[in-house]
Amino acid sequence: MAAFDSTPPRFSRRFFPIWRRNFLVWKKLAVASVLGNIAEPLITLVAFGYGLGSLLRQIDGIPYIQFLASGSICMSVMMAASFETLYSAFSRMHVQRTWEALLNAPLDLDDVVLAEMLWAATKSLFSGVAILLVIFMLGIGLHPAILLLPPILFFIGMTFASLGLIVNAIARGYDFFTYYFTLVLTPMTFLSGVYYPTAQLPGWLQAIASVLPLNAAIQLVRPLILGGVPAHPARDLAILAVYCVAGFYAATLLTRRRLLK
């Protein structure tokens, strides 16, 4: 196999057949897959939105169910992209040995990593759109600004897919992913304004929250769902872009080190 190198990721259109392969496999279990990815955000939305919402009517003049719905979409995209780049990608890399078979074709490992990232982003977009359809049925988000949401959700999915692929590259087994979910994603969910405004946090936690990718995602998505305009779109997009680009670069190098020894 080729020696490990630290050059930047190389991009080509050869990623597309790999993306298509993953899509065709997913189509066989599409309904179960989407339901599995939206189950937790949907339960959270209904339980907290109506349960806690009956006690906490509004946050900053916004009905609590709408506040929570706009955060739940971002959480759903984050979780869907993370699950795909962790459990599913790890299975393809090690258990099913799909990556090994792909590398016997005229493909580079960089093509495989890029395809996995874009496929995870695509799958997370499906989950985000499914949640969006649910909140439409609740009468939330029915305005023209919502048309800007799909590309933003896809970009959010790319960001968390890139971060997930870093963990995938260093994991030695499925158990390792528990640390990422418990120590990274769960705290990020509570610090990023899904359930309550980040202004309620102590100052030092607000400072941490302000640079988290999930917080940036929510700052972009929530105003659009509520019919407004993000306050600092350039800043929030820049935060996501830094995590996405740096995450993908690190994931590619670590995956090369893992597989191209």
| Coil/strand/helix, residue 58 | strand
- Provide the strand spans (E) within the chain: 58-59, 62-63
pLDDT category of residue 248 using cuts at 50, 70 and 90:
very high
What whole-number distance in Å separates Cα of residue 137 and Cα of residue 170? 41
17 touches 98 (CB < 8 A): no
Burial-class residue 144 by CB neighbours within 10 Å (0-12, 13-18, 19+).
exposed
216-246 confidence digits (pLDDT tens): 999 999 999 988 899 999 999 999 999 999 9
Nearest by Cα to 114 from 90, 141, 85? 85
| Coil/strand/helix, residue 34 | helix
- DSSP bridge pairs for 58: 63
111-131 confidence digits (pLDDT tens): 999 999 999 999 999 989 988
256 touches 7 (CB < 8 A): no
Q: Which residues are within 8 A (CB) of 260 and not within 5 positions of it... i.e. 6 or more apart?
A: 1, 2, 3, 4, 109
pLDDT category of residue 83 using cuts at 50, 70 and 90:
very high
pLDDT higher for 161 or 96?
A: 161
Helical packing angle, 15-27 and 30-46, nearest 10° = 80
The CA dihedral of 187, 90, 159, 20, to the nearest 10 degrees, is: -150
Task: Flag whether pLDDT at 192 surpasses 70.
Answer: yes
Residue 5 is predicted with a pLDDT of: 67
256 touches 5 (CB < 8 A): yes
Q: Which residues are within 8 A (CB) of 143 and not within 5 positions of it... i.e. 6 or more apart?
A: 227
Nearest by Cα to 127 from 5, 11, 36? 36
Task: Flag whether pLDDT at 1 surpasses 80.
Answer: no
Nearest by Cα to 115 from 199, 201, 37, 25? 25
Distances in whole angstroms, Cα of residue 33 to Cα of each of 14, 26, 28, 130, 217:
26, 8, 9, 11, 23
pLDDT higher for 47 or 154?
A: 154
